[in-house]
Structure formats: C-alpha cells, structure tokens
Structure 1
Amino acid sequence: MLNRKLLREWRQLFWQSLLIVVISTIGIGMFIASYKAFLSLEDSYDYTYKKMNFADLQISTTEDPSLEINKIKNIENVGHAEAREIASAAVLIEDKKDLGKIEARVVAIGDNQQINKVQLLQGEYLSERKESILVERHFADAHNINPGDRLTLSGLSDTLTLEVSGIISSPEYLWVAKDRSNVMPSPNEFGVFFVEQDVLNQLGQRISSYDVVIDSDDVEGIKGEVLEVLGKFQVIDVIEKEEHISYELLKMDLKGFQELAYLFPVLFLSISGFIIFILLTRLVDKQRPIIGTLRSLGYSKRQIKWHYLQFSLILSVIGGITGTIVGSFLGGKVYEIYRERIGLPFSVEEDYLYLWLIGIVFSVSIGALAGYFPARKAANLLPVEAMRNSLPTKDSKFYKWLMKRIDRYIKRLPITLIMLIRNMIRNIFRYGLATFGIAISISLVFTTSGLLDSVKYMLNQQFDVVENYDLSVVLQEPIEGEKFKESLLVDGVENTEGVLDIPVTVSVEGKAIQTMLRGMENDQDQYRVFENIKWLNLSSDEIDIPKDGVLISKSVQSKLGIKAGDKILVTSALHKKERLYTVKGIINLPVGSIIIQNLSELNKDFMGSSEPMVNKALMEVSGNKKEIKEQMSEMENVMTVHDNREMRTQLNDFMGLFNIFILVMFIFAIILATSILFSVIFINVVERKNEIATLRAFGYSKNQILRMFAIEHSLIAIISVILGIIFGIEGMLSISLFYNNDMLTFPLYINPISILLTIILFVVVVMIAQLVSQHGVNKINVADAIKVMDR
C-alpha cells in the first residue's frame, strides 16, 4: 500500500515536472525562434540597403532637374546625386493579352547607377541589350515573366514593345507600394519596370514626375542647400530614407515582430514559474517530516534551501536548453519563409549564439525566482514543527481584521460556505496568485483570438463595407461626370460611380504627409465613408461629405496630430494650387490614407471647372470580370482596370504570417490556461485532505463537499475571466499600436462569439476540473485521514 502511494506521488511529480519543462521549452523556443528571425531580417535589410546604396534623401519635382545635378554634387557632404524620370504607363503582356492593361511605373536608369542600384536576379542588364526592359521581381513572379518575354508599354499617345532582358530587385521596392493611399497593390495589377532614358523617350507623351536621389551622412545639413538649388522647380515631395514608404513599412513590420518576440515568451515563462512555485510549495509541505529529520541530523538551512532550489533550476535549465535548440531551428525556417515572401536579394543569417545564453539565463532566472520562496520556506522550518504531520495555522492580522467585520454577515450561511470564505481569506495570497495566473492565461487566449478577429474585421471593413465596388477604372484624362458613364458602357456592369483622385501634400505646423484627395458625392454606394471610433479604430455611423471642409482618415490624423476643427493646408503640385481647409471629421479607413471632399467643390478648387470632372470609375459588376476588364482595357481613355478582389488577396497574403503566428499562440495559450487551472485545482484538493476528512467525519456528504469546491472553482474562474478580459484588451491595444501608422490603422475588435467561446472554454475546463475534484474526494479514506491528523 505504501509503495503504491509513493509510486502514485512520484508519477504525479514526474508529469508535473514534464509540464514545467514543456512550458519552459515553448516559452524559450518562441523567444529564440522569433528573435532570431527578427535579427536575421534586420541584418539582411540593413545589408541589402547598404549594398544597393539606398538613397538617404529623395526629392520629387514636376520638371526635369538633371541640368542642376552637378550643383547638387558640389554641395558639401553630398556623396552621390542622380536625377531620373519616373513615368506612369500601362503594360500589356504579349502572351497574356487577356489580362488587359496593367498599371506600370517606369523608372529611367543609366549605365553608371550609383544610388538605388538594382540587383540582377535573372538575365542580363540593360547596357548589354538596347531597347529592352528590366522587370521588378514581384511582378515577374506573379506573371511568370522570364528574360526573353515581350512587354508592350502604353503612354498617352504611343506604345512601345520591349524585350525583357532581366528580372531585378530594387531597394525602393522590397515592399512594393504605389503610394500612401495604396500601400499594398496586387502584383497582378501594378508593376515596376526599369528602362534607359532614351528608350523611355520613345514612349512619346506621358505623365511623369522626376526624382533627385542623394546619399549623404548629413541629410539635415544638406537638405536646405539642395532645395535652394531646386528652387525654380515645383517640388512635390521631400523624403528621407526613414520616411520612404517601402522602408517605413518594412521597419514597422520588423518592429511588430520584435515586440511580439518579447511579449508572448515572457507571459509563457511567467506561467511556467507560477507552476514551479505551486509544485515546490506542495512538495515542501508533503516532505516536512523528511525536512525535520534532515534538520535534526545537522543539515543547515543553506543545504536544505539549495536542495529544493536545485529542483526548479534543473527543470529550468532543461527547458532552456531544449527551447534554444528548437527555437534556433525554427527561427531559421521562419526567416527563410519571410525572406522569400519579401523577396530579399541578399541574406545575412548567423547563429546568434548570445541568444542561447540569454534564453537559458532567462529560463533559469524565472525558475530560480519561482523556486526561491518554497525553498526558503523549507529551510526555515524548525525540526520540531517539521516532524509534525500538520502545522498549526497562524492567522494573519489581515485575516483577523477582515473576519471581525464580515463574521456577522456570514454566520447564517451553511457551514461549508463559511469554511470556503474563511479558507479563501486565510490563504488570500495563494488564491490571489492562482487567480492572477489563470487570468494571464485567459488574457493570452483573449488577446490572440481578438487579434485574429481584428484582422478579419479590417479586411471586411476595407473591402466589403468601405470599398464596396468590384472593379475600378483609372482614366488617363479627367472626363465630365455626365459623360463618363456613357464612355464606359459594357455589358455586365450594373452600377458605375465616378470620383476624382488628386495626389496632394497635407501640411500643418511643420508636419507634412503625402496622400490622396478624393472628390465624391454623398449618395455614392461604391465607396462609403464612416466615422472613426477613437481608440478602437472601428467604424461608427456613415458620415456626410461636407461642402465647406474635408474629412480625413485616422491615419492622416495620427501622422499630423490634428483633430476635427483644425486647419490644414492641402497642396497639389500637379495643378500648382493650394487650399486651406477645416477638418470636419475623422473617418475610418483600415488600409491607406485619404482626404475626402465634395466633388463639386474639389473641381472648383483645383480643376477650375464648374462641371464635376472624374478620373476614376468605381463599378459593381454581375458579368464575367475577366471579359469586362479586357473590354475596358481596349478603351481609348482607360489607363488600367483594377479588381478589388486582388487587393484583398494581397492584404491577406501580407497578414498571412501574422495570422499563423497568432494562431499558434492561441493554441499554446489554451494549453497553458488548461494546465495552470488543473494544477491549481488538483493541488487545492490534495492540500485540503484533512479539511475534507473532518467534514466527512461530521456527517457531510461527498456531494455537499463537491458543491463547496464547485462554488470555489466558479468564483476563481469568474474573477479570472474578468481580469483576463481586461488584461487581454490591454494586450490587444499594445500590439495594435505596433502596426498603426499613416498607412495602416489597426482596429481593436473582438467578435462577441470569441468572448462567448472563451467563457465556454473555461466553463468546460472548470467542469472537467470538478470531475478531478470528485475523483480526489472519493479517494479520501476518512478513517485513515483522521488517524494521521491525530498523530
């Protein structure tokens, strides 16, 4: 009988120890994997930007500044300086004409390019083949384009057929973004190409802007002098490296990756420490007679303390070592997946051995902290007290103070409830710690499910609510609102609405941002405008477009630090006009940034037209999209046709790794929450064996005792769920801040179903835990327990 009891206790100790090792392995493994991937990506980005000499300063103008480039080169602290033309065009793939026209950005480059150098991935460079074209890799991959294929570029007046000489990667387009209002265009509908200036000139009349790109160690020092040289030109934008769309988005993505690499592992390891604390505390209580014997034989407090501290340290070391091995392997895999998705041309991946040291030290520190207090408790036991089977309870001053005030209110309750209340107050530290640990576990479940819900909400809001159209048609030249519907008549188009989009610069108090000014009417259904709910970044009621002001997206508001009622200066370099507007409201737009104005007023302010003009059509279609796009592409004034579904697919791909990461955390969070709840409930039953035996001896049935446990477990679960939801919301808010910028507005949303499922999950866990309690109560032999209590 004794051997069977010892075997059962050792078996329990083994499984609980294994649980600690597994949780430590998960926590350290997550940290090593995510942080190694982050470091590898950061080093690869930095090396790529340095190798390809990414511009430190980029200044866009409406006219060709190439004649002034030598003056800029002579400015002190300017390394290299180059001028180039960037043209908007349409591209037609010769073997895939059914795709129709695709929007193209064509960059002119020279033979001796020193800044923003392109990296050849396939084929050969332009200097070796005349009248050829280089294709950026994202577009080439999407359309399976290879060297030797032929593409046709279309300008405003002429077309030009070129042979693909090579596939390249550009530091400007590691993340392909069209502009700040469209930061994730689908490669199926937007591509970047590079040609020599002489070849671009053959395209004839075209819409172009010009860039001066500069490398310098003192950007702030040279900026004023460069702008002075370019003073006779209309400057559209001044962009430092950190403000470049591609660079900023990649760094934002890395920042979020880095923060997640800290957050979840710390929570996991904290729970691991909590379980170590519970396990060692129970072990010390069970081994009091052994401790008493050792103390009476002359073992010192230090030896006793070290004996129990070793237990937590050994488990933590094992978890730390296995976690670093697993995490290092997974980190390399995550990095390769991420690198392939971004398309980094250069790779820098190291072992980062110091991460191993950090991981092991981190794991051991958590274990040492959790094991110290039970070990100290064991060391401080006096031999006489330790040899006793149970210690007399010493009520704290807090317990006595509180019981004096509530005793008269609870004395009429059943004895089991009185015992429950007194026991919870007497052991308030233990119950508080248990509740906090379970709450942290619940917050992990809540945070991860909430983040998944937020991503889903963001996609639905952007593409099902705000952008309610199927196709958008970009026109080469604006056309009167009454005529554009007739010019775009195609079978299968159910509804067509026009908008006017103008690239603008918005500035206020020294801050500026590039965005899109959109003119539209109030009664439009294809693009709807909703008021933004502060902090949550959710959509409220649909908002009317004012005639005497503008509406701005939350991303623009965040960048400029303004609010409704403030004045903003809106400048159009294309039309060489500027207007001062009052902000009338903040709108919710998850992806991109935009300013909304009344269509008629926008035409008066910038187009100088009394008749509403539009340059973009938003369409609801019921026919075959592919056929409609093909017909539209052949129309004279049509530059390109976009399928809104492609944009959604692109955003889905972008959020794919994020969703996978969060989903894995969600699964681990459920495992942790279940583990800690079981640990607390199981140990709670075991530790109170004498109390249960006493109640049974006084005639209380097993059902009455189990009801007492059920109330206790339910109370812990309710408090834990409430705290867990509060912690979870705070966690969601913290993570959402990593991804909020002037191009992305991350919402704070959780589906009520997710809240319900979280609660149901823990109700199920409590019910199962109650079965564990029942099993423990049924196994208690009253006679044996009373005999042990009498010793």
Structure 2
Amino acid sequence: MSVLTVKLRRDLRRRPAQLVSVVVLVMLGVALFGASYDAYRNLDSGYQRLFERYRFADLTLSGGDTAAIAAAAAAEPGVAATAARTVADVPMRMPDGGTFVGRVIGMPAGSQPAVDKVQVLRGRYLDASAPAGVLAEKHVADHARLRPGARVAVWHGGAWQPLEVRGTASSTEYLWPAASRQDALPAPGSFGVLFVAEPLAERIAGTSAPNQVAVYYTAAGRRHTGWLDAALTAAARRHGAGAAVTRADQPGNATLAEDIKGFAELAVLFPLLFLAAAGVAVYVVLARRVARDRVVIGTLRASGFRRRTLVGHYLATGLAAGLAGAVPGAAAGVLLAGTVTRLYGEAIGLPETFVSVRAATVAAGLGYGLAAGALAALAPALSAARVPPAEAMRGIVPSAGGRGALARLGRLGRIGRLRRVGRAVPAGAWLVLRGPSRQFRRTVYTMSGVVLALVLILVSWGMLDSSKATVSRQFDQVQRQDAELTLAGPAGPAALAALATVPGIRAAEPSAQVQATVTAGGKAYSTALVGYRPGTAMHRFLTPGGGARALPARGVLLGRAMRGRLGVTAGDRVTLRLPGGRTAATTVAGFVDEPLGTYAYTSLAQVDAWAPAGGAQGSSGRRDTALVRFAPGADRAAAEHALSARPGVVACTDAHALRRTMDGYMKLFYVFVAVMLAFGGLLAFTVLFATLSVNLAERGTELATLRASGVGRRRLARLVTTENLLAVAVGAVPGLILGRLATGAFLGAFNSDLMAFHTDIRPATLAWSALAVLAVAFLAQRPGLRALARQNLGALVRERSG
C-alpha cells in the first residue's frame, strides 16, 4: 500500500463528521435528481404511450364542411386516420341535482372511433340498441359517483332529456379535464364530458352532420408536424373551418405539458442547489486540510513526489466523498421515482402509469456526484501542489497579516476621531468585528452556505406566497361575479330584472362567449371572445402596468400572452375567425394582465354584430348566460339554491368553486413547502456545520490562547457565536435577494398563456426565512464549540509557542 493511500485513509477517518455532511448533501442532491427527473421521463413517456394506444388526435378542425375536410385530410400523405364527430357544450344535470355546462362528444355506436379512442374502465361501450346510453368520462364520474345504470340528463329542446350511464371511460383528450385553454383549471363539478352515440350528439347539438374532424398522423407525418398542421389547416379553412387546434395546443394536453415542463426544470435546478452546497463544504474541508498539511506536503515534495501526484491525492478525497454520496443517492432516486410517478398519476387521475429504470439517469446522478466532489476539490488540490517545499518544511504558514477591511479601519482609528472611537469599543467587540474581515475567504464560505440555504427556502416559501397572491388577484380583483347562470332563454332585461329580485342578489348582468381564433400576420391563437356590457361590474380589466381600464366601445382587449404569440401591439389590426365561417376585422384596443387564461374581451354589442345569435348549438355565441353578484353578507349557499330553483334557470355554477379548488391545491402545496423547508433546513445545517466547524478548527490555537489568558469558556463561546451569526446575517442579505430572483425564475418555469404568476413574497416570509437560517447556524456551531471546550489548552499553547 502506497504512502499516499495510507494518508488518504487516515484523512478520511479524521474529522469524519465534516465529510459525512458532504456525503449527505451529495446523496440528497443525486436522490432528488434521480427521483424527479425519472418521474418526469416516466410521465412523459407514459403520455406518449397512451397517445399512441388510443390514437390521440394530432390536429382537430372545427366547423365548415366536415365531410370535405375529412376527405381532404385523409388524402394527405402523413395522415393515418380521420374521424368526423359532433361536439356540443350543453347544460347537464347529475343524479344529485347538481347542474353545470358540460360537453357531449359523438362516437360510433358499437365500435371505437378511428381517432381519439376511449378506455372503458367500468361497464360497457356504446351500443346502437341503447341509443340513450352514454359513457361518463372518469373525472365527472368520480365526482358525481356515476356508475353503470345511473341516470343523468342534458338540456335539449327546451327540456331535460334523460340518459343512462352505460359505463365510465378515460380519454386521452381529458387526462386533465380542461374545457378550453382559457378554462384549464375547472373546479370539480363545474365541467364534465359524456360520450354519446353520434346520432344522439347531432340531435343534442341541433345539427344534421358532424361539426368537428379529428386527424391522426403517421409516425413519418409526425416528423413534419409543423408543415402538416399548416397544410391541413389551410385546406380546412377553404372548406369553411373556424378553429384548428394542434395536439400541443389541445387544452388538457397543453395544461399537462406545462406542468411537466415545470417539473423538468425543477428536476435539475433543485438538485443543483444541494450539489453546490456539497461543493462548498468539500472546498472548505479540503482547504483546511491543505493548510494543516503544509509540512507534510513540503516533505513529500522534497522526497520526489510530483505536483500532479499531490493534485491527484487531494482530488481523491473529493471524489471519495462524491462517490460515497452518489451511490446511495442514485439507488434512492430509482426507488423514489416510481413512487413519485404513481402519486402524481393518482393525483391527476391517470388511468395507468409507466415506471422504468433508466441507466442514463443513474449514470448522470453518479456523474453529478463525482463532478461536485472533484470540481470542489480541484482548487485546494492545486493549492497543495503550489506549496514551496522549503518554506513548508520550516512550518511557515502565511497569515492574513491583518489586511482585512476592519483591520485597516483599526489602524486608521489611531488617528483623529477614529482613534477615540476605537478606544471606546470593547475588546470583545473588536474580536467579533475583526474576525470576519481577517479571514475574508473563510467568511465567504459561510456566506455561500447561507445564500444556498436561503435560495432553497425562499423558492419554496415564495412560490407558496406567489400562488396565494395569484388566486387573490384572480378572484378578488379580476373576476367579480359570484355565480354564472345558464338560462332557458335569452338573458334579456326582463330575465335579469327577475333575477335581481331573488333574496341575496345584488346585481345581474348578461354575458356572451364565442369561440374565436385571433389571427395577425399569419399567426393565430384560439381563444374565447367574451362580451360584457359597458361599465360592467362583473369583471375588472387589469393592465400589464398594474392599473385598470374600462371596456372599449370598439375593438378588443387581448390577454397579454397574445402580444408575444401574435406579434401585435395596441392599435394593430387583427382578424377574428368565428363559428359558422364568419370573420371580423377589428383593432387591438389594449392588453390585459390576468392570472388565469388568455381571453379576448369586447362589448356585447360587438359580439352581436360579429356573431349574431341563432343557429346550431356551438355555431354561434350563447346569449343565455347571466352573471350575478351577491349582496354583502348574503348566505352563498342559500342564494345559489334560490337561483337554481328559479324558473328558467337551467344551470347555476358557483364562480368561486374554482377558488375553493385552488385553496385545496394549496393544502397539497403546503406539504410540498414543508418538505422543501425541511430540505432547506438540512442543507443549511450540513453546509454551515462543515464551514463553521472548519472555522473553529482553524482558530483553535487562537481561541485556546484566549482561554489560557483568562477569558472564560462561556464568554468565549458567546463571542464566537456572535461572530459566526454576524457572518450569517451578512450572508442573509444577498441570500434574500438571490432567493427572490430564484423564486421568479422558478415561477417562470410554470408561466404560460394558461396561467401567469407574479413574484409576490411577503415581508414576513423574508424575515422568517432569515431568522430560520440564523437559528440553524446557531445549532450548527454547537458541536464545534463543544469540541473546542474539550481541547487540551497546554498542548495548543505549546504548539503556538513552538
């Protein structure tokens, strides 16, 4: 066994607690990477398998001559199959009496469609012998507790038409049950899908032919998706089609894709924080060892050992620590990835999940762990190789020489007023103040650990604060109505006046909503065109600058995301493609900044002019919607019950149901934040333990001399604690700043046209985060202080005098 091998083994056994802290940080970082990244890959590959198995549409075309559109698409190279169907949004009533506006989708009776198949989970598929039989999509079936044989109803022909549930099914279109891109987070019980036989769907929609074509590509066609999408959309519009929705823009898939995108970014960024902290700890430990081993290094160099041999020796310590943490971390990541995948799948209701072990992820985790140890050890290793042998063997260790900023201030204090101020400062205070500046590099170690810990804590806590602020912004500032009613007839003055007489109702207004595609310069964005009457009290239009503006008499207000998507500014002209093949040219009056969805807003008069009422269901704007506000202090449940019982009210949707749902999601977020705070506390403890214990070890002789000079143990502990906490407090300032910036970056991973977050961290969060790190630092230094109290004063003083 070589001399350096023996030395390496002894080094690893000496002060093992510091190296164990490094190993723990590497293990956590690698485990987090393996669990989150493999879970992301599992979910992504799982979606793709489901899309292939059930032939999820690559392009969906609505409106126009669907027979001609389907025929033209089928003849295009790269298209594997097409399916024409009828889709309509209509009021539905569940067995418990609950009502909402849901969606019926036509399918062949007796056989699955060629595109957008469903997986029957319970019961039987549609059958021509049971024309009133339906399949309930999984999410609405779970919420309303629908089982085969249950009775539901849809509003058709001015009356409720009863239907029988034949079974429940899962659809790749509704893995996430989003009604539209603008309604990507429907509250449970506010939206649902029923799959019905195509003839029944046409009767409900009031059409004589399908109104939508779903297109599925071949593998070769999918390699040229952009070109094929554009060609099929152009051909469909020549036959009168209105909206064209790609697979990427399909509401449910787009919502899940954004979530997965954020998941993927977190899978890399969070582990990097731990690996960076491990790197700081490795650097601190090895820098201390190089300083302590100067005589040994000088002896080895004088004995003929080459510089690269010594570099390899000290690099081996970092590699050993990285490998010791990476191996169990990679194993833990493999085990956790399956658990995370299954929990996520259960949370969103996936019919099945796919879990696999990826050798590439394991190898990457091991590589990250080794890289963290090696890169952090590189600087101390190079420093060891540069030690002059003669100087090192004389035991001369260069000191800071009092060159710190506070030391210079002390010398300046010998003149003028600073001299008198310096004399007034107690010796203990000078000891506390001079310590951080004398060994500034050592202070930077501690500050780096503080910054990393605060970044992790604030990212978690700040995301929670920002999410709560987003909910408040949507439901306290933007969306002012308390309930949305679907009426049996138009929401005219008489109907609105009757609603206003219901006890607990403060105001009622009409509203209209039309599906539209906004186009400009060859770019298009599918959205909903929503109409309000001027001076509406039901909606507040917030601007990107933070203010609010009125609804324009002419033109449209567009969601902020459309400014980048379409490349338009206020005053530009855009074209609206509306149901029934209609188009309308108008002006962009401005932009609104809203948390949920990206809508186009205009006046009711313009909606009436652009999309006149009448025609088949889904082909024109609905004029049967009324928005109501409750009186202050009104009993919401009683008011909603009274509205639902009112003649002519078909469906009543609680506009704050989504807020309660999001508040429920916040409870899950609390668990996430609690876990991240625990990780942040552990990160702070381990990195601060490593840095502070090394700091105390480096100053062991100095502190022992103070004790031998008569400074009491408790007083010395107080002085050292104050000095350490001072360095931590200074590091907290950049930590809070970087933590806030990191929160904005992490939230940006989830921002899209579906949802927009603003970074909003409460001052109390900043204060509590800083106090938490101070408390952790206080605990992290305790082991070092206890070790200092047990030191042999005589031996240390003799070492200093020698």
- Shorter-chain TM-score: which interval? 0.7 to 0.9
Letter of the 1:78 partner, please give it: V
CA distance in structure 2 between the aligned counterparts of 1:732 and 1:380, rounded to whole angstroms: 41
CA shift, 1:334, in A, is 0.7
Counterpart for residue 258 of structure 1: 264
Trace 1:672-691 onto structure 2 (pairs within 5 A).
672-691=683-702
- Please give the alpha-carbon distance, in whole angstroms, between the structure 1 residues aligned to 2:241 and 2:65: 11
Cα distance in 2, alignment partners of residues 607 and 68 from structure 1: 25
Per-residue CA deviations over 1:723-752 (Å, capped at 9, x if unaligned) read 112222221222222211111112211111
Distance 1:652 1:236 in 2: 36
Is contact 1:120–1:166 with CA below 8 Å preserved after alignment?
yes
2:738 matched residue in structure 1: 727
Aligned to 1:590: 595
- The 1:645/1:223 distance shift into structure 2, 3 A limit, reads closer
Partner of 1:337: 343
Contact residue 709 and residue 773 of structure 1 kept, 8 A: no
Gaps in structure 1 of 5+ consecutive residues:
1-8, 534-539
**Aligned partner of residue 168 in structure 1, secondary structure:** strand
- In 2, the alpha carbon distance for the partners of 1:18 and 1:756 equals 31
Q: Could you tell me which amino acid in structure 2 is paired with residue 590 of structure 1?
A: P
Deviation digits for residues 146-172 of structure 1 (CA, Å, limit 9, x no counterpart) = 222222222243543222222111121
Give the deviation of 1:618 after TM superposition. Answer: 2.7
Shift of 1:670: 2.2
Shift of residue 528, structure 1, vs aligned partner: 2.9
8 A contact 1:559–1:742 mirrored in 2 = no
Distance 2:233 2:289 in 1: 74
Determine if contact 2:202/2:208 at 8 Å carries over to the other structure: no
1:531 CA drift (Å): 3.0
Q: Number of residues paired by the alignment?
A: 768
The structural deviation recorded for 1:41 is 0.3
1:598-647 CA-to-partner distances (Å, cap 9, x unmatched) read 455655665599xx977332332666655654554465643422123432
Kindly report which structure 2 residues correspond to 1:559-574, keeping only aligned pairs within 5 A, or say none: 559-573=565-579
In the TM superposition, residue 382 of structure 1 has moved relative to its aligned partner by: 5.5
Does the 8 Å CA contact 1:568/1:583 hold for their aligned counterparts?
no
Q: Which moved more, 1:113-122 or 1:365-374?
A: 365-374
1:520 to 516, 532, 550: 532
Question: Greater CA deviation, 447-456 or 425-434?
Answer: 425-434
Residue of structure 1 in register with 2:625 after alignment: 615
2:87 maps to amino acid: I
Pair 1:493 & 2:505 matched: yes
Change (3 A) 1:149 1:618: same
- Please tell me the residue identity of whatever aligns with 2:168: I
Partner of 1:669: 680
Write out per-residue CA displacement over residues 657-698 of structure 1, whole angstroms, 9 at most, x where no aligned residue. 665444422221122123323433332232123444566788
Paired with 2:207 and 2:275, the residues of 1 have a C-alpha distance of 60
Superposition deviation, residue 347 in structure 1: 3.2
Structure 1 residue 647 corresponds to structure 2 residue 658: yes
Structure 1 equivalent of residue 156 of structure 2: 155
> Partner residue of 2:542?
530
Q: Which moved more, 1:399-408 or 1:154-163?
A: 399-408
Change (3 A) 1:224 1:444: closer
1:118 and 1:423 map into 2 onto residues whose CA distance is 70
The correspondence of residues 628-777 of structure 1 with structure 2, limited to 5 A, is 628-629=639-640, 632-633=643-644, 637-652=648-663, 660-692=671-703, 709=720, 712-713=723-724, 715-765=726-776
Shift of 1:785: 3.6
Shift of 1:316: 1.8
Describe the shift of the 1:781–1:247 C-alpha distance in structure 2 as closer, same or farther (beyond 3 A). same
Distance change (3 Å), C-alpha of 1:309 and 1:11: closer
Equivalent residue number for residue 96 of structure 2: 96
1:372-411 correspondence to structure 2 within 5 Å = 372-378=378-384, 380-381=386-387, 385-386=391-392, 391-393=397-399, 408=412
CA contact (8 A) 1:468 1:525 kept: yes
In structure 1, the partner of 2:125 is: 125
Distance 2:653 2:265 in 1: 35
The separation in 2 between residues aligned to 1:141 and 1:459, in whole angstroms, is 26
1:317 aligns with 2:323: yes
Deviates more, 1:323-332 or 1:37-46: 323-332
CA distance in 1, matches of 2:271, 2:205: 58
Q: C-alpha separation between the residues in 1 aligned to 2:472 and 2:517?
A: 29
> Do the aligned partners of residues 765 and 319 (structure 1) sit closer, same or farther apart at CA in structure 2, a change above 3 Å counting?
closer
Q: Is contact 1:499–1:519 with CA below 8 Å preserved after alignment? A: yes
Deviation of 1:272 (Å) = 0.9
Match in the other structure for 2:619: none
1:185-221 CA deviation, whole Å, 9 max, x = no partner? 1231211111112223454747998211112315555
Q: Counterparts of 2:561 and 2:24 in 1: how far apart (Å)?
A: 42
- Measure, in 2, the Cα distance between the counterparts of 1:60 and 1:204: 14
Aligned partner letter, 1:44: G
Q: Is the 8 A contact 2:21 2:687 kept in 1?
A: no
Per the TM alignment, residue 486 of structure 1 is displaced from its structure 2 partner at its CA by: 0.9
Q: Give the aligned partner of residue 109 of structure 1.
A: 107
> d(CA) in 2 for partners of 1:422 and 1:625?
64
Q: 1:604 & 1:705 partners in 2: Cα distance?
A: 83
- For residue 434 of structure 1, report the CA deviation from its aligned partner: 3.4
Letter in 1 for 2:92: V
Q: Say which is worse superposed, 285-294 or 728-737, in terms of deviation.
A: 285-294
| Structure 1, 425-434 or 15-24: larger mean CA deviation | 425-434
After TM superposition, give the deviation of residue 716 of structure 1 in Å: 2.7
Deviations 1:452-505 (A, max 9, x none): 111111122223333243321133543224642315753443443443333332
Distance in 2 (CA, whole Å) between partners of 1:340 and 1:790 is 68
Task: Give, in angstroms, the shift of residue 268 of structure 1.
Answer: 0.4
Q: In 2, distance between residues paired with 1:619 and 1:555?
A: 29
Corresponding residue of 1:6: none
Could you tell me how far 1:762 is from its partner in structure 2? 3.3
Which ranges in structure 2 are unaligned for 5 or more consecutive residues? 1-10, 615-621
- Report the CA distance shift for 1:766/1:662 in structure 2 as closer, same or farther (over 3 A): closer
Deviation at 1:227, TM superposition (A): 5.1
Which range moved further: 21-30 or 657-666? 657-666
1:401 Cα offset (Å): 12
The aligned counterpart of 2:191 is 190
Pair 630,309 (structure 1): closer, same or farther in 2 beyond 3 Å: same
Q: What is the letter of the counterpart of residue 275 of structure 1?
A: A
> Do 1:57 and 1:219's aligned partners in 2 also have CA atoms closer than 8 Å?
no
User: Could you tell me which residue of structure 2 aligns to residue 361 of structure 1?
Assistant: 367
Whether the 8 Å CA contact 2:87–2:205 is kept in 1: the answer is no
The separation in 2 between residues aligned to 1:295 and 1:689, in whole angstroms, is 27
Quick check: 1:348 aligned with 2:359?
no
CA–CA distance in structure 2, aligned partners of residues 85 and 424 of structure 1: 73
Shift of 1:29: 0.7
Task: Pick closer, same or farther for the CA change 1:572–1:628 going to 2, 3 Å.
Answer: same
Match of 1:278 in 2: 284
Q: By how many angstroms is 1:405 displaced?
A: 10
8 Å CA contact 1:444, 1:666 repeated in 2? yes
Scaled by the length of structure 1, what TM-score is found?
0.86
Q: CA RMSD in A?
A: 3.8
Task: Indicate the larger mover: 506-515 or 699-708.
Answer: 699-708
Q: What is the aligned counterpart of 1:23 among 22, 25, 30?
A: 25
Question: In structure 2, the residue corresponding to 1:49 is in which secondary structure?
Answer: helix
Q: Deviations over 1:422-461 (max 9, x none)?
A: 7655644443343233212212212221111111111222
Q: Distance in 1 between matches of 2:695 and 2:69?
A: 80
Distance 1:764 1:345, change over 3 A: closer
User: After alignment, is 564-573 or 44-53 more displaced?
Assistant: 564-573
CA–CA separation in structure 1 for the residues paired with 2:488 and 2:26: 60
Change (3 A) 1:689 1:27: same
1:146 touches 1:167 (CA, 8 Å); kept in 2?
yes
Contact 1:80–1:114 (CA under 8 A) maintained in structure 2 = yes
Which of 235, 251, 265 aligns to 2:241? It is 235
Aligned equivalent of 2:136 = 135
1:442–1:720 contact (8 Å) kept in structure 2? no
* Percent of aligned positions that are identical: 26
Q: Is the 8 A contact 1:570 1:581 kept in 2?
A: no
Secondary structure at 1:532 match in 2:
coil
